[in-house]
């Protein structure tokens, strides 16, 4: 075994039991580690990036535990002290239903408070968008959300937000990581007891008024100006996460009262017993909700992920079966609904703007263009949409933003938060569904109508694994080779190649290529930032589904032949 790994393990065995903050689970795991477990737990430290930390819960430097959370919090505290005055040093804290999320939130709060930073923490678990909202509402210099989003139950994470309510920039992440690296885990962390911090006024709970204000902002995103029948039968699942209270409250206050909650997935539970992968993108996570829908003959199935920033839906077709809609399909429907209602009601801003990520369906740009709405394309990740909203706000054009979405089930129609919002998404989806049902049209019929008008679009994602250092080098070589091949793909002429490594359109440099092909087709290639995978997004425009499938199949064959050579 590597000597450094063994040295680090022995240091933890010696120091952890004597620390002021204790986790018996960590101590017991350390005592029972075999060599393989030891190596995996200590071969590196968790990487801190623009998404903060994310990893498996457990003992070691490569794990999410109270010690790695405390160290990250001390690093963030040092960063805040360097960049903000005493009066500005405030941090908002929230957490989801995951294992140890509440503990990690308290530990982080204790570290911040000991460093002279005022803490505003929710008294109970709250969604990621509520954290983004609180950061801006309470004028905080930063925010943290304890969550691993939609990952399996063995994971947890630590997401960091800037004063604008967006996830931190690449530059800020790099500087914070530098601060974290300089900290001695066993001697360099300040901490104060949570209750003492409360008594001293350094830690305080976020008021109910802030939460209510968030709900009111969501409800204001309605684009309807007419009465509709809101008695639609809805099945909702929070997937054992944070969405239960805010989603139900928002929908019921807006007039949607015929809601049945999936009991097995109703209460917060970080083990996610009925959905091991609690992601509404995944069919298995939606299956129990669909069973409920069949039982109750419901019209619509909604599910939000554990931190309630994503929402997935299923709708009933003419045959009585339930069809899962992709994020691209739901996003297209929402975009057209918002644009058509704003146009109809005279509420379209003077210079309307829609935003999407570069891997989200190109059909959105055609719909937006139909309504005279400008499209801004950003890099993968909703934080880039949040940053663009902030730029509009800085020039007095915040109201120009009308909608943004991404292919991974994230939607946002307002500027009150700067991250995707599952509460907002669920609210708009229900309004849109009820509106079309009142006009005797289903969402599937409306989607077909859009395809007839703009052409059929198929969007698929294909991932290819490249394990280890050799795999990493292979991916780099593939990207280099692709940058030299820009004439045609699968017999289709490349009209233009967008290389984001050069920093296009004012966006940060990123190792992403997007080929715009003849016939309104496109291919995006990017190495994953969190996994040893090359991700390829294909968008095909065709007359119908059968033709689209044929084109997509030829593209995949071309790409796989290229990867294997």
Instruction: Extract the tokens encoding 522.
Output: 């496109």
SS3 at position 271: coil
Q: Which of 94, 109, 132, 149 is catalytic?
A: 149
CA distance 345 to 224: 8
What are the backbone dihedrals phi and psi of residue 450, each rounded to the nearest 5 degrees, phi first?
A: -65, -40
Q: How many of the other CB atoms lie within 10 Å of CB of 82?
A: 9
Six-digit token pair at 500?
């984001």
Taking Cα atoms as reference points, which of 391, 11, 2, 5 lies closest to residue 186?
11
Paired tokens of 43 = 């071969």
Question: What does DSSP assign to residue 169?
Answer: P
- Asked if 326 is an active-site residue, the reply is no
Q: What angle separates helix 101-114 from helix 66-83, to the nearest 10 degrees? A: 40
CA atoms of 13 and 4, how far apart (whole Å): 14
Which ranges in 305-442 belong to alpha helices (H)? 327-345, 363-370, 382-394, 422-438
| Residues 196 and 90: beta-carbon distance below 8 Å | no
* CA 534 – CA 559 distance, rounded (Å): 12
CA separation for the pair 95, 241 (Å, rounded): 10
- Take residue 89 and report the two structure tokens written for it: 């040093």
The C-alpha atoms of residue 211 and residue 403 are separated, in whole angstroms, by 22
Q: How far is CA 473 from CA 342, 466, 468, 561, in A?
A: 49, 9, 9, 19
Instruction: Report d(CA 367, CA 336) in Å as an integer.
Output: 7
Tokens of 438: 């009142």
For 293, the 3-state DSSP assignment is helix
* Sequence-distant (≥ 6) Cβ neighbours of residue 107 within 8 angstroms: 21, 66, 69, 70, 73, 191
Which residues participate in catalysis according to the annotation?
A: 149
């Amino acid at each position: 075994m590597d000597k450094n790994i063994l040295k680090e393990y022995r240091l933890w065995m010696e120091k952890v039991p004597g620390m002021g903050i204790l986790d018996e689970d960590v101590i017991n795991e350390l005592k029972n580690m075999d060599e393989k477990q030891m190596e995996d737990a200590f071969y590196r430290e968790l990487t801190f990036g623009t998404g903060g930390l994310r990893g498996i819960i457990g003992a070691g430097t490569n794990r999410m535990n109270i010690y790695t959370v405390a160290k990250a919090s001390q690093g963030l505290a040092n960063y805040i002290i360097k960049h903000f005055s005493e009066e500005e040093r405030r941090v908002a804290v929230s957490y989801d239903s995951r294992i140890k999320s509440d503990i990690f939130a308290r530990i982080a709060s204790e570290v911040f408070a000991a460093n002279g930073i005022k803490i505003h923490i929710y008294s109970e678990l709250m969604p990621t968008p509520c954290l983004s909202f609180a950061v801006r509402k309470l004028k905080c210099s930063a925010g943290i959300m304890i969550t691993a989003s939609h990952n399996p139950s063995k994971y947890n994470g630590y997401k960091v937000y800037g004063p604008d309510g967006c996830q931190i920039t690449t530059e800020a992440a790099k500087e914070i990581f530098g601060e974290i690296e300089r900290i001695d885990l066993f001697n360099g962390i300040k901490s104060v007891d949570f209750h003492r911090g409360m008594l001293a006024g350094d830690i305080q709970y976020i008021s109910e008024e802030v939460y209510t204000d968030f709900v009111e902002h969501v409800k204001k995103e309605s684009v309807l100006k007419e009465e509709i029948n809101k008695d639609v039968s809805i099945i909702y699942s929070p997937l054992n996460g944070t969405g239960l209270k805010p989603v139900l409250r928002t929908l019921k206050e807006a007039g949607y009262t015929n809601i049945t909650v999936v009991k097995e997935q109703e209460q917060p539970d970080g083990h996610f017993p009925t959905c091991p992968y609690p992601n509404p993108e995944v069919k298995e996570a939606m299956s129990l909700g669909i069973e409920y829908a069949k039982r109750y003959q419901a019209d619509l199935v909604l599910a939000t992920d554990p931190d309630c920033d994503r929402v997935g839906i299923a709708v009933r077709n003419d045959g009585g079966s339930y069809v899962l809609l992709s994020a691209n399909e739901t996003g297209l429907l929402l975009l057209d609904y918002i644009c058509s209602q704003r146009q109809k009601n005279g509420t379209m801003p003077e210079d309307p703007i829609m935003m999407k990520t570069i891997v989200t369906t190109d059909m959105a740009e055609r719909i937006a263009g139909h309504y005279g709405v400008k499209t801004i394309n950003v890099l993968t990740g909703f934080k880039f949409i949040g940053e663009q909203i902030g730029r509009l706000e800085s020039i007095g054009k915040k109201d120009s933003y009308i909608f943004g979405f991404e292919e991974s089930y994230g939607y946002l129609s307002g500027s009150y938060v700067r991250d995707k919002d599952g509460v907002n998404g669920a609210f708009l989806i229900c309004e849109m569904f009820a509106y079309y049902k009142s006009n005797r049209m289903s969402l599937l019929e409306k989607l077909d109508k859009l395809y007839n008008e703009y052409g059929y679009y198929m969007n698929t994602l294909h991932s290819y694994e490249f394990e280890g250092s050799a795999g990493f080098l292979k991916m780099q070589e593939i990207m280099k080779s692709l940058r030299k091949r820009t004439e045609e793909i699968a017999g289709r002429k490349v009209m233009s190649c967008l290389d984001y490594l050069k920093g296009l359109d004012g966006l940060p440099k990123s190792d992403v290529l997007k080929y715009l092909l003849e016939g309104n087709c496109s291919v995006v290639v990017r190495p994953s930032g969190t996994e040893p995978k090359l991700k390829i997004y294909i968008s095909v425009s065709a007359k119908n589904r059968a033709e689209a499938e044929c084109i997509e199949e030829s593209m995949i064959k071309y790409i796989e032949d290229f990867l294997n050579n």
